[in-house]
Amino acid sequence: MDPIRIAIVGMGKIARDQHLPAIAGNRAFGLAATVSPHDPGVEGVPHFAGLDDLLASGPAVDAVALCTPPQVRHDLASSALARGIHVFLEKPPGATLGEVAALQAQADKVGASLFAAWHSRFAAGVAPARAWLAERTIERVTITWREDVRVWHPGQAWIWEPGGLGVFDPGINALSIVTHILPRPIFLRGAKLEIPANRVAPIAADMTFSDTGGAALHMDLDWRQTGPQSWDIVVETDAGTLKLSQGGAVLTLPTGTDHAEDHEYPALYARFATLIRTGRSDVDVAPLRLVADAFLRGTRVTTNPFVD
């Protein structure tokens, strides 16, 4: 079977650190081109300043992986889908719920695969956590996602703009895990969003949720963390406490701790290949919907200006 010819659109850190190695390690794919107005691309691979240039005069591609900021992703995805090209959407899948719904409808109409790629769901501890929780009664969930924005997002102005999500850019990873592992749906009860005086997106958020069985969830997001970083989910159940730490890589159950190697992006591309080969899409917007609800219902509090 011929490899799926894929182009990467947006050659930032995530593309170079994760997408390129994952594609290189998966024989189902062949890197056909890269697209970026700023990055020179990969030696020996055709490179284009824009997706329109690639589609107009470049090599044929079967799929694109969109690693751009979410604010510009809809138009790029729509252009690809209009040509029957399969689309991999980095997280979050879009800047709004409406545009993701439009892309899903377009993909269904043309018969192309659309993949909203929540990479944290493929962390090593997530699948066994989901299986363990399936037969448990959830009593309480605590999410602590604290990191230093200057370390993880230096100089990325887009992340502070409308649609860039601010602290929800990492926080949505936690929500992608929680919505996947808990046996019942969750919904927002309330939120406080701390927004720097010189920005429009939050630098911190404190949120409360409930699942449909009445279990309480609390989420603490903060981009001002220095020293040790925290990416932890603790689930208290009738059978003891489950903890996912290091973003889902480490799973601790009452019986012990398991720490497996990172395989998020290789697993994402394996999933994308399966979707393409079977003619299906995978577009779960539950994490993005919860973030949208936080902006809809949350109380906004102005905090100190942020200077990168």
The helix (run of H) or strand (run of E) holding residue 32 is strand 29-35
Signed CA dihedral, 76, 81, 83, 85: sign only: positive
Q: How far apart are the first and last CA of the chain?
A: 48
- The span from the CA of 116 to the CA of 74, in Å, is 12
3-state secondary structure of 73: helix
Amino acid at 109: K
How does strand 256-259 pair with strand 29-35? Answer: unpaired
Q: Which residues contact 274 (CB under 8 A, 6 or more apart)?
A: none
Cβ count within 10 A of residue 286: 15
Q: Which residues contact 172 (CB under 8 A, 6 or more apart)?
A: 91, 92, 165, 287, 288, 291
* Catalytic (active site) residue 91: yes
Q: Show the CA angle centred on residue 85, arms to residues 108 and 118, nearest 5°.
A: 70
- The span from the CA of 166 to the CA of 161, in Å, is 8
Percentages (nearest 5) of helix, strand, coil residues in the chain: 35, 30, 35
Q: Is the separation of the CB atoms in 87 and 99 below 8 Å?
A: no
Residue among 40, 92, 43 nearest 71 (CA): 92
Place of tokens 């493929």: 122
Active-site option among 13, 91, 192, 243 = 91
- The span from the CA of 168 to the CA of 159, in Å, is 10
Catalytic residues: 91
